[in-house]
Amino acid sequence: MKRRVLSSAQIIPIGFLLLIAIGTGLLSLPFAAKSGVSVPFLTSLFTATTSVCVTGLVVVDTFSYWSLFGKIVILVLIQTGGLGIVAVSSSLFLFLKKSFTIKNRALVRDSFDLDSLQGVLRFLRKVILGVFVIEGVGAILYAIAFVPQFGILRGLWYAVFHSVSAFCNAGLDLIGPDSLIPYQNSPYVLVVTMLLIVVGGLGYIVWFDSFTTMREAIRRRFGIRWFFRHLGEHTKLVLLATLFLIVFGTVITLLLERQNPLTLGTLPPGGKLLNAVFQSVTYRTAGFASMPQSALNDGSVLFGSAMMFIGGSPMGTAGGIKTVTLAVLLLNAFSYVRGRTDTVVFRRSIPEELVKKAAAILFFSLSLSLFSIVLLVAVDRVPLTDALYEVFSATGTVGLSRGLTPHLTVFGRILIILCMYLGRIGPISLALFFRTDLSGGKNIRFAQGRYYVG
């Protein structure tokens, strides 16, 4: 009997499931909770899933419910889930100086969505080094604020935990039940958090391209225009899309919430702007909050859900359908309206295969989200705005909630667990998981039919 070999599209989702299972087992232990009593299975499963999927939705308060052991387990799950199970396991192989087979290299390539096997191990080393350097710098910056407030040991622990959580876009915190609301008048903590969130969400390709081009610009003493002109087209698209979404999100948040006394209304002008920027950044997969999400008006809930659906950028720690996916679809639409046969940006055409992939991601992700919203409203009988916010937060691996998560029924919790998992691996990955025809029927051609759309 021929042994079946699993593809990367199957190994990666299974790896996340195994990590969730291990995390659930560890968090179910009595000493994982402060009470010393065994944690209910569904609570452990939910917490392990939200940690591995770097989401941030919680059914129990992280700071008060879990013991130090439980919090360390959560931190390890966040780090492993943020980097990816393949990246972490491959890093251990590198550390132990184990040899890599072609299959191992292919798995690393597919986990980072790279084009070829060439240089995958060098790329992996750069990713691991970059992650720990950025998280280390983030921890030092946080420590400047947390050590004077909480003491040396507790302050350092908080600094490390929040640096990893912010960089991985997890949104889990140890501050208290109100996330970062106590720091809404503290520009330093909010700015450090935003920087970690944005850097984590840009993607590794953007990091390395920007660093290399900037180093060359400094060496040759060229200006910002030379720097931007010599960036790769992917990096340019990501940076422009990210900047646009942050600015656009800030403007809309200010317009919708500036007079709301429960969010921005009572803050001074500078505080309004700071927290509007923070809300715009955290919408797109971070999960930290500097204002009560339950107090947002309906317009903000709808807008925030759309931002959560978009998410961060490819090959980073953020979720959502990704900025480039949205950009490709918009550019394709504009190209069609203008009568162009190719989709072009920065004088480079976008491959047709990429446009098809973007459309598939949009379809599967939106279908999952809308179907889950209908189920949650129908079964748990929750308000539509709360269900909308909760589900888009779960599928976008964001972690923002209007206070609904702890009050979900067993069915609601299981539904959100599934949404978080599928949001992390991508709904399209599930379709690929069950695909047995690895060629995808590429060699089959059919006669064209006559159809009408629009």
Residue 452: pLDDT band with limits 50, 70, 90: confident
The pLDDT of residue 442: 59
The DSSP H or E segment spanning 69 is helix 68-83
Q: How far apart are CA 413 and CA 391, in angstroms?
A: 11
Q: What are phi and psi of 287, to 5 degrees?
A: 90, -10
Crossing angle, helix 120-150 and helix 68-83, to 10 degrees? 150
Q: How far apart are CA 291 and CA 285, in angstroms?
A: 16
The DSSP H or E segment spanning 349 is strand 348-350
The pLDDT of residue 432: 55
- Averaged confidence pLDDT in the chain: 88
Q: Which amino acid is at 270?
A: G
Residues near 207 by Cβ (< 8 Å), separated by ≥ 6?
130, 199
The pLDDT of residue 74: 97
The pLDDT of residue 368: 92
Higher pLDDT, 104 or 140: 140
- In this predicted structure, the answer to whether residue 1 has a pLDDT above a threshold of 50 is no
pLDDT tens digits along 79-133: 998 887 767 777 776 666 677 777 777 777 777 777 777 778 888 888 888 999 9
The pLDDT of residue 395: 94
Lowest mean pLDDT among 176-180, 283-287, 425-429: 425-429
pLDDT tens digits along 48-61: 999 999 999 999 99
Is the Cα torsion angle 289, 294, 300, 304 positive or negative in sign? Answer: positive
Q: What is the pTM of this model?
A: 0.90
The pLDDT of residue 69: 96
pLDDT tens digits along 397-416: 999 999 999 999 999 999 99
Q: How far apart are CA 17 and CA 22, in angstroms?
A: 9
In the chain, what percentage of residues exceed pLDDT 90?
62
In our burial notation (b when 16+ CB lie closer than 10 A, e otherwise), range 355-380 reads: beebeebbebbeebbeebbebbbeeb
Rounded mean pLDDT of 393-400?
Answer: 94
Rounded mean pLDDT of 23-27?
Answer: 96
Residue 148: pLDDT band with limits 50, 70, 90: very high
CB 304 within 8 A of CB 298: no
Q: How far apart are CA 413 and CA 410, in angstroms?
A: 5
The pLDDT of residue 427: 63
CB 250 within 8 A of CB 139: no
| Residue in this structure with the two tokens 């480079």, named with its chain if needed | 348
The pLDDT of residue 6: 64
Q: What is the 8-class DSSP label of residue 294?
A: G
Q: How far apart are CA 122 and CA 137, in angstroms?
A: 23
